[in-house]
Amino acid sequence: MAISSVEVLKSARLRFPRATVASTLMPTQSLRVYSSHCCSVEYFPSSLRAIFLNSGARTRTSATVREKGEKMEDHPLVDDALSMGTVDDREVVDEPPELQERDFSGTPYVPIYVMLPLGIINMDCELLDLDDLQIQLRTLKSVNVDGVMVDCWWGIVEAHAPQQYNWNGYKKLFQIVRDLKLKLQVVMSFHKCGGNVGDDVHIPLPQWVTEIGQRNPDIFFTDREGRRNPECLTWGIDKERVLRGRTAVEVYFDYMRSFRVEFDEFFENGIISEIEIGLGPCGELRYPSYPANFGWKYPGIGEFQCYDQYLMKSLKKAAEARGHSFWGKGPDNAGSYNSRPHDTRFFCDGGDYDGYYGRFFLNWYSQVLIDHGDRVLALANLAFEDTPIATKLSGIHWWYKTASHAAELTAGFYNPCNRDGYGPVALMLRKHGAALNFTCVELRTLDQHEDFPEALADPEGLVWQVLNAAWDVNIPVASENALPCYDREGYNKILENSKPLTDPDGRHLSAFTYLRLSSVLMETHNFREFERFIKRMHGRIAMLFICLFKSLLCQCMHFIVGSGF
């Protein structure tokens, strides 16, 4: 799957962990009592006695010792009574003890999936690197990964002629996954791969589609300057018979139905657990408002993408129905891809986005997005019958702390500070029984403020809003990381969002998909952290220790009884 939109966030500077943030323990699972010296007592519910850790001993803190004028280095622990004193004319600087992490034992089980590499299937629909892939999949299975996610690329399967499908490589892949007793999340990828951060392969739209686009470029999203974006088809042709006699949604339906028939056995035996429906660029339900190939750079606000003849016709029709035909055009004061909100008259505080015309235009623009999802998901349910379906939304969190939320508006989410733009999307998904897959759950607002203070970003606020919009209408919420994640800090943030401690209803993510399987993930240290993360997502992090303690206790009892004590 093409990398989610927010991956461009740190393309110039990928930061690594600073310090692990402390989290509160789940009170229903274990009780820890802390003394003023951070000694701890942990009571396991099924144990007959408490286990005292560090009891009766003086607490020691990590300290740094250095010669005067010497660069600081780490040394063995030094008694905390030394505090900021000297040892043999050397300065001693205390460092705080490592903070306790939240205990996830006994918490709800959240399945873990891992995205497969983008180019695992080549343009001839052949499975590549078979031996290496099998080794990696066995390794994932050994740490109890639940399954994998794979893109079924429209540009590969229906590459040369309408309704001529080649599924050969995917058949071999699915058989390997089934033999390893893993599950499959499959993405119907109706978009182009290549040009986004993280895209290491190039998979265009089907050749016969691009040929149509050469004759009729209005089948692609278009910006105000007339630049065409061949990343996916404009939603303006959803109901236009411009694809050799078929509409866009008919093409999508035929493709999905072919997949359902071809892989019937994998549906029947439950190997395919979910189908994610691609609804736009990067497989996400959004406009391609910030394309890197048009020069966009983070944190630009992006541009509206409604200037193909089909969407403009829809806009003019809506303006006439409103009685203001002169509103049938896009804003002329909304800046360009790399503008800041305050530099434009449309997005600045008190700007035209909140005026009569602005509200009309943004209502129309966002409704086109919702209507597209509505049409395609209705046909997806028809194609896949009782199989769960999902769709992905991107985490557009830059400029979230401004009044207009400009980057969200250009992407199609009508979510200024005085309006909930995600509630209507969630209601549309509920209509079709579709899950919401959301990105950027590993990102921290504080990190964004330190790295890009000018962006006024708030990923944590956005995640909270979107998750609650979905949960409030009782639809499942899954998630994935937006950027490569190998460190405990990122994993801890995912865990916090996956199983919110303070949620009064005990709500949690239905699944998490890790981006992405790679040689870097398989490195010893990184994979060890990943395995630890899986156990915590499964709610098992302390269960192994409990079982070990019980086993040891039983052995001691047998020894005592057998020895006649």
With CA atoms as reference, report the closest residue to 553 among 168, 157, 44.
44
Could you give the CA distance from residue 196 to residue 515 in angstroms, rounded to a whole number? 15
Strands 183-189 and 272-277 come out as parallel
Task: Mention every residue, 6+ apart, whose C-beta is less than 8 A from residue 407.
Answer: 289, 290, 299, 300, 301, 302, 396, 398, 399
Peptide bond before residue 15 is cis, with ω within 30 degrees of 0: no
Could you give the CA distance from residue 279 to residue 62 in angstroms, rounded to a whole number? 51
Q: Please check whether residue 513 is in contact with residue 537, taking contact to mean a CB–CB distance below 8 angstroms.
A: no
Catalytic annotation, pick one of 274, 284, 408, 496: 284
The amino acid present at 53, given as its one-letter code, is: L
Token readout for 188 is 């119907």
> Residue written as tokens 């609650």?
468
With CA atoms as reference, report the closest residue to 448 among 392, 409, 401.
401
Q: Which residues are annotated as a binding site for substrate?
A: 151, 191, 199, 392, 397, 439, 481-482, 516
Could you give the CA distance from residue 149 to residue 555 in angstroms, rounded to a whole number? 43
Helix 130-142 and helix 168-179: axis angle, to 10°? 30
Q: Please check whether residue 169 is in contact with residue 560, taking contact to mean a CB–CB distance below 8 angstroms.
A: no
Task: Mention every residue, 6+ apart, whose C-beta is less than 8 A from residue 477.
Answer: 435, 436, 437, 438, 467, 470, 471, 509, 510
Establish whether 158 is a catalytic residue: no
Burial letters 389-425, b for 16+ CB under 10 A, else e: bbbbbbbbbbbbbbbbbbbbbbbbbbbbeeeebbbbb
For residue 346, what are the β-bridge partners?
Answer: none
For residue 436, what are the β-bridge partners?
Answer: 391, 477
Strands 51-53 and 78-79 come out as unpaired
Strands 78-79 and 220-222 come out as unpaired
The amino acid present at 217, given as its one-letter code, is: P
Catalytic annotation, pick one of 274, 276, 408, 480: 480
Establish whether 7 is a catalytic residue: no
Q: Is 208 exposed, middle or buried (0-12, 13-18, 19+ CB in 10 A)?
A: middle
For residue 148, what are the β-bridge partners?
Answer: 114, 184
Element (H, E) at 268: helix 264-268
Task: Mention every residue, 6+ apart, whose C-beta is less than 8 A from residue 11.
Answer: 197, 298
Active-site residue set: 284, 480
